[in-house]
Structure 1
Amino acid sequence: MLRNKINPKKLFSKQILNYQVKTKRGLVNYVNLDNAATTPPFLEVENEVRKYLIGYGSVHRGAGTKSKISTDIYERSREVIKDYVNAKTDDYVLYSGNTTGGINMAAYFFSFLSGKIMVSTVEHSSSWLPWIKVEGVKLLGEKQNSLNEMEEINNQIQKFGSSQVIQYDVNENFEFDLSDIGRGLKQNKIKVLVLTASSNITGYCPDIKSIGELAHKYGAYFLVDACQFLQHHEIDMQKMGIDFLVASGHKLYAPYGGGFLVGSKKFLDEFLPYQIGGGNLPYITEQGEFLRFKNQMAHDPGTPNAVGAIAMMYALEIIEKIGLKNVEDYERKLAEKLFYYLSKNSKVELYVRKEHLSTVLPFNIKGKDSIKIAEILNSDYGIGVRAGSFCVYQVVRKLLKITDEKNIIESVKRGELEKVPGLIRASISLCNNEKDIERIITAINELTK
C-alpha cells in the first residue's frame, strides 16, 4: 500500500475524480492515464480562478479597483514562477499559450544572432521545428514573393532552416553521450543548446547541469524544455546553469491556456518584442515611431491571459506545499507497480528502462495495433491513454527499430495514416491512485490472454 500522505481526493474535485463514462461493461469512473498530454486542474486552482474572475478587470490598462487588483495578482504570478524554478532576481517571465509558444518566442529572439542551434533527437517537435522555421525565414533574406511561389519558398525555408539546426543523438541505452554533445559544440558555432528535461515518451531525465556546463564552456546559451519535468521533480535554474526555461500550465494542473518562457533581462531587453501591438508600448509618435521600455511589459502585447498566468501560480504553490520529494515518491510507487506487471507479461513490449522510469510508460501489445488497443482501453475499460508517435518520430522509429520509412512516407502522402508507427503511453500524475493502476493491469492482462 502507498503510505504517502498524498490523497487525490483532497487535491481534485469530486466531479473530476468521479467523472463517469459509458463502456461496454457499463458506467465506470474514468481513469486518466494521459497526464503527460494534459492534467486536470487542482481543486484549489479552480476555486482561486473563480475568485479572481469575480474581481477581474483589465490588466495593466485600467484605473479602477478591479484593474489594479487583477494587475497586482497577475504580476505576482511572475515572482512565484521565478521562485519555483529559482531564476535570477532580474530574469523575466514572458507568458505564452504553452511550451510551443515559449519556444517559438525564444527562436525568434535567437534568429537575430549568428550561429547554429543544437537540438536533441528526443526533443518534442515543438522544441525542434520552430528553430528550423525562423532560421529558414532569416536565411531567405529580404526578398518578397508572390502567392504562387509560396510552395517553393516553404520548401526553401525547411531546407535552409534545417541546415542551421544540428541534432545530437542518444546512445543504445537511449541516454545522451556528453562527449558527443561536446564534439558538436566544439565543431560548430552554437548559439543555443536545447534540452528536454524529461523525455515525453521514455521518461529519461538527462544530467541537466553537466550538459549546461558543456554548453557554457563553448559559449552557447542553454535552453531547457521543462514541461514534462517541473511538476514531478525539482528544477533549479541557477544551480543547473539554465539560461532559458519553458513550460506549460496544462501539464502542471493549470489547464487555462498559459505557458511561459523564463530568461535573462539583459538578453531580452536587446530585442523588439516577439509580438507587438497595444499595451506593450508607451508611445507612438506622429511619424509612426514606437517607443518602448526595457522591461517585461514590453513583451506583453494586448490583453494578457491573466487567468492562465494566475492558475499556474496557484498550481505551483500547491505543488510546493505538497513537496516535490513527496510527489516523486507517490508517483514513482504507482509507476513501479505498473512497470512490474507489464514487464512480467510476455505479450507486452515495454520501451522504458527501469533506471529511466519516471511517470511515463510506453508499451505495445505484440502483434496489435497501438491505436486500436488504446481505443479498446477507452471503450471497454474507461481508461484514457494516448497512442501514436507523440511528436517524437525519431525516437519512435528507433524504439521500434524502423530503418526504412519509404512505405510510411508514401502512405502519408496518400492521406493514409495506418502505417505511421506508434506506441501506447500511460502517464501518471497526482490524480491517479492504486486502483487506477490495477484497472489498467487487469485490462492489459485480459487483452493478452
Structure 2
Amino acid sequence: MTESLTVSVPTECINALLPVVGAGLPVPLVSGAAVAYANLDYAASAPALRAVAEHVATALPYYASVHRGAGFASQVSTALLENSRACVGRFLGAREEDVVVFTRNTTDSLNLLAHCVPAGGTVLHLDIEHHANLLPWQRRGDTVLEAAPTLRETLADLDAALASTPTALVAVTGASNVTGQVLPIAELAEIAHRHGARIVVDAAQLAPHRRVSLRESGVDYLALSGHKLYAPYGAGVLVGRRDWLDEAPAYLAGGGAVREVGLDGTEWAAAPARHEGGTPNVLGAAALAKACEELATVGGAALAAHEETLRQRLLAGLAALPEVTVLRIWAQDESAAETEDCIGVVSFTVAGYHAGWIAAYLSAEHGIGVRDGRFCAHPLLARLGLGADGAVRASFGVGSTSADVDRLVAALRTLLGTGPETEYELVDGRYAPVGDPREIPDFAGPRSSVSSPCQEG
C-alpha cells in the first residue's frame, strides 16, 4: 500500500497546443469497456499533426516523378519537394551555404554523415547517446567519452579530450530520449570549434520540443526524423555544411544522384542530389515541411512552457509514490546559474514490477500508451544501473493534456494501492493479459507476435 503524502500538484487544466490525428481515439480495455487513448509515447513516434495529414491528402493526387517529368503533376511534385527543402531549412535556421538532404530518419542521416567524415578524421561521442548516434561511430572505431557525474564536469571533460586528441567531429544528442535532459548545444559547438572540430547534433528529440537554429547555435550539422516531428511519413533530414557532403562518395548510388553516367565511370551531382539516389519521398518531405510550418506558428517559448507544466505535474504525481524512481543522467546542480532545461520525457521504475509488466497493465486496464525497455540507449541504461528489464517512459508533446498525465498517475496509484484487475503473462517476450480479449482492427491483420529487443526504432 502507498502511504498518503502531501504533494503540491498543479490543478489547472492544460489543453493540447495543436490538433493531432488520433486525439480521442477509443481503445478497448480488458474489462470490455472502451476509453479515449492517452498517448504518452511521443518520444518513440509522435502522432501526425492534423494539418500535416490534410496537407498530404491534398498533395497526393498530384504525386508524380520529380525533376525530370514534363507532365503538370510532375511539375507540381518537383515544386513541392524543393519548396519543402527550403521550408525545413528555414525552420532549422540553416545558413545560406548549408545543404538540406532528405533521408529516411535520424539513423539514416547520421549514417550518411559518418560516410562523409573526411578520411582519417576521428569522431568523439558521449556514452549517453541513442543508438542512432552511437552505432555509426562505434562501427568506425571512434572515441567514446563517458559523461561525468554533472553536466558542467562533462563539458570540462569534453574540452580536455578535444585539447589532447585531434578530432574531426563531435557527435552529441540535443536532448536525452531517456531522461529528457537538454544539452547546451551552442556551448558544445563553441567547445568543439575552439579545438578545430565540427559538431553534429542528434536533434530527433530536441527539434519537436525546442526551436533549434544552425545559424544561432553554431552547430555544423543537425539530424532529425519526421516521425518524431509529427510527420510520420518516412522522411528524415540531415542539414549542414556543404563541403563534406560534396566531397564524399554518393551515399546511395543510383538514379538522381548523377550528372552523367558512362560504362567506365560516373560524374556525380553535388549535394543534396548526390546523396538522394533513387526516387525521393516527396510526400514524406512535404509532411516534414508542413510540420515545421505548424510548429513555427506556436513558437519555442509556448512549446517549452506547455511541456514544462505537464512535466512538473507528472513529477509531482510520481513523487507521491515512494515505489517510483525517476531516472536522471545528471542531478540538478543547485549552484549553477542556469535552470535545468528538460523536454517532455520522464522515465521511471516501479519497485517490485518489471517495466514491461507496468506498460502492459497501463494499456490493458487504463488505455494508456507508454514505452518500456531500454529505449535504444543500452549503455545509458547500464550506467543508470538498469539491466534488460529497463524502465518505463512517459513522453508528451503538442497534443498532450493534463488529463493524460493525471490518468497515468492515477493508474499507478491504483496499482500500488489495490493491485491489478487481471493477470499477466509473458507472450513471445512481452507481457500481456492472460487471454487478452482486445481485438486488433481488421485493417491491421492478426496481432503481431514479433518482439523487438531494442523497444524503440
Task: Tell me the amino acid that sits aligned with residue 445 of structure 1.
Answer: R
Q: CA deviation at 1:107?
A: 0.5
Name the SS for the 1:250 alignment partner.
coil
The farther-off stretch of 341-350 and 93-102 is 341-350
Name the SS for the 1:315 alignment partner.
helix
Which residue is equivalent to 1:232? 209
Contact between 1:2 and 1:333, CA under 8 Å: does it hold in 2? no
Task: Tell me the amino acid that sits aligned with residue 212 of structure 2.
Answer: I
Contact between 2:250 and 2:268, CA under 8 Å: does it hold in 1? no
Name the SS for the 2:168 alignment partner.
strand
Query: Does residue 1:39 correspond to 2:46, yes or no?
Result: yes
Which residue is equivalent to 1:251? 228
Contact between 2:16 and 2:400, CA under 8 Å: does it hold in 1? no
Between the aligned partners of 2:271 and 2:317, the Cα distance in structure 1 is: 53
Which residue is equivalent to 1:343? 319
Deviation per CA, 1:352-378, whole angstroms, max 9, x where unpaired?
A: 457454211111111211111111111
> How many residues get paired?
397
Between the aligned partners of 1:307 and 1:86, the Cα distance in structure 2 is: 22
Correspondences of 1:259-274 after superposition (within 5 Å)? 259-274=236-251
Between the aligned partners of 2:248 and 2:241, the Cα distance in structure 1 is: 12
Name the SS for the 2:310 alignment partner.
helix
Q: CA deviation at 1:54?
A: 1.1
Which residue is equivalent to 2:420? none
Between the aligned partners of 1:188 and 1:124, the Cα distance in structure 2 is: 24
Which residue is equivalent to 1:369? 354
Between the aligned partners of 1:127 and 1:7, the Cα distance in structure 2 is: 31
Q: Which consecutive unaligned segments of at least 5 residues does structure 1 have?
A: 136-160, 403-418
Contact between 2:251 and 2:274, CA under 8 Å: does it hold in 1? no
Query: Does residue 1:114 correspond to 2:96, yes or no?
Result: no
Pick from 273, 279, 294: which aligns with 2:270?
294
Name the SS for the 1:326 alignment partner.
helix
Which residue is equivalent to 1:444? 412
Correspondences of 1:409-448 after superposition (within 5 Å)? 420-448=388-416
Between the aligned partners of 1:356 and 1:239, the Cα distance in structure 2 is: 18
Which residue is equivalent to 2:183? 206
How has the CA–CA distance of structure 1 residues 196 and 176 changed in structure 2, closer, same or farther, with 3 Å as cutoff? farther
Task: Tell me the amino acid that sits aligned with residue 180 of structure 2.
Answer: G
Which residue is equivalent to 1:328? 304
Q: CA deviation at 1:2?
A: 5.0
Between the aligned partners of 2:327 and 2:260, the Cα distance in structure 1 is: 56
Between the aligned partners of 1:130 and 1:181, the Cα distance in structure 2 is: 20
Task: Tell me the amino acid that sits aligned with residue 201 of structure 2.
Answer: V
Between the aligned partners of 2:248 and 2:327, the Cα distance in structure 1 is: 43
Taking only aligned residues, the RMSD between alpha carbons, in angstroms, comes to 1.7
Query: Does residue 1:12 correspond to 2:39, yes or no?
Result: no
How has the CA–CA distance of structure 1 residues 118 and 332 changed in structure 2, closer, same or farther, with 3 Å as cutoff? same
Higher helix proportion (structure 1 or 2):
1
Contact between 1:33 and 1:427, CA under 8 Å: does it hold in 2? yes
How has the CA–CA distance of structure 1 residues 197 and 11 changed in structure 2, closer, same or farther, with 3 Å as cutoff? same
Between the aligned partners of 1:247 and 1:296, the Cα distance in structure 2 is: 16
Contact between 1:396 and 1:421, CA under 8 Å: does it hold in 2? no
Deviation per CA, 1:135-178, whole angstroms, max 9, x where unpaired?
A: 2xxxxxxxxxxxxxxxxxxxxxxxxx2xxx21122222466622
Contact between 2:211 and 2:299, CA under 8 Å: does it hold in 1? no
Q: CA deviation at 1:338?
A: 0.6
Q: CA deviation at 1:18?
A: 2.0
Q: CA deviation at 1:422?
A: 0.3
Q: CA deviation at 1:394?
A: 2.0
Between the aligned partners of 1:260 and 1:176, the Cα distance in structure 2 is: 32
Between the aligned partners of 2:155 and 2:67, the Cα distance in structure 1 is: 45
Between the aligned partners of 2:301 and 2:27, the Cα distance in structure 1 is: 33
Between the aligned partners of 1:341 and 1:176, the Cα distance in structure 2 is: 31
> Normalized against structure 1, the TM-score is what?
0.85
How has the CA–CA distance of structure 1 residues 58 and 249 changed in structure 2, closer, same or farther, with 3 Å as cutoff? same
Between the aligned partners of 1:438 and 1:178, the Cα distance in structure 2 is: 36
How has the CA–CA distance of structure 1 residues 254 and 96 changed in structure 2, closer, same or farther, with 3 Å as cutoff? same
Deviation per CA, 1:95-142, whole angstroms, max 9, x where unpaired?
A: 1110000001001111x4213211111110110111232x2xxxxxxx
Contact between 1:198 and 1:229, CA under 8 Å: does it hold in 2? yes
Q: CA deviation at 1:180?
A: 0.4
Which residue is equivalent to 2:424? none
Between the aligned partners of 1:233 and 1:345, the Cα distance in structure 2 is: 30
Deviation per CA, 1:249-280, whole angstroms, max 9, x where unpaired?
A: 00010000010101212221112211111122
Between the aligned partners of 2:16 and 2:102, the Cα distance in structure 1 is: 31
Which residue is equivalent to 2:433? none
Q: CA deviation at 1:293?
A: 3.0
Q: CA deviation at 1:294?
A: 2.5
Between the aligned partners of 1:179 and 1:434, the Cα distance in structure 2 is: 38
Contact between 2:178 and 2:345, CA under 8 Å: does it hold in 1? yes
Name the SS for the 1:448 alignment partner.
helix
Task: Tell me the amino acid that sits aligned with residue 368 of structure 1.
Answer: Y
Name the SS for the 1:290 alignment partner.
strand
Pick from 131, 135, 145: which aligns with 2:137?
131
Deviation per CA, 1:380-410, whole angstroms, max 9, x where unpaired?
A: 111110111111122212222x6xxxxxxxx
Name the SS for the 1:93 alignment partner.
strand
Between the aligned partners of 1:327 and 1:179, the Cα distance in structure 2 is: 30
Where do 4+ consecutive residues of structure 1 move more than 3 Å? 1-4, 173-176, 352-357
The farther-off stretch of 236-245 and 313-322 is 236-245
Which residue is equivalent to 1:414? none
Name the SS for the 1:276 alignment partner.
coil
Task: Tell me the amino acid that sits aligned with residue 144 of structure 2.
Answer: Q
Q: Which consecutive unaligned segments of at least 5 residues does structure 2 have?
A: 1-10, 333-339, 418-457
How has the CA–CA distance of structure 1 residues 378 and 85 changed in structure 2, closer, same or farther, with 3 Å as cutoff? same
The farther-off stretch of 187-196 and 17-26 is 17-26
Between the aligned partners of 2:405 and 2:270, the Cα distance in structure 1 is: 50
Q: CA deviation at 1:77?
A: 1.0
Q: CA deviation at 1:3?
A: 7.4
Deviation per CA, 1:16-53, whole angstroms, max 9, x where unpaired?
A: 11211111241111111010001110111101101111
Between the aligned partners of 1:58 and 1:371, the Cα distance in structure 2 is: 44
Name the SS for the 1:310 alignment partner.
helix
Contact between 1:80 and 1:317, CA under 8 Å: does it hold in 2? yes
Which residue is equivalent to 1:21? 27
Which residue is equivalent to 2:55? 48
Name the SS for the 1:100 alignment partner.
helix
Between the aligned partners of 1:386 and 1:277, the Cα distance in structure 2 is: 37
Between the aligned partners of 2:274 and 2:127, the Cα distance in structure 1 is: 34
Query: Does residue 1:305 correspond to 2:281, yes or no?
Result: yes
Which residue is equivalent to 1:150? none
Between the aligned partners of 2:188 and 2:150, the Cα distance in structure 1 is: 17
Which residue is equivalent to 1:141? none
| Identical columns (%) | 31
Query: Does residue 1:68 correspond to 2:88, yes or no?
Result: no
Q: CA deviation at 1:238?
A: 1.7
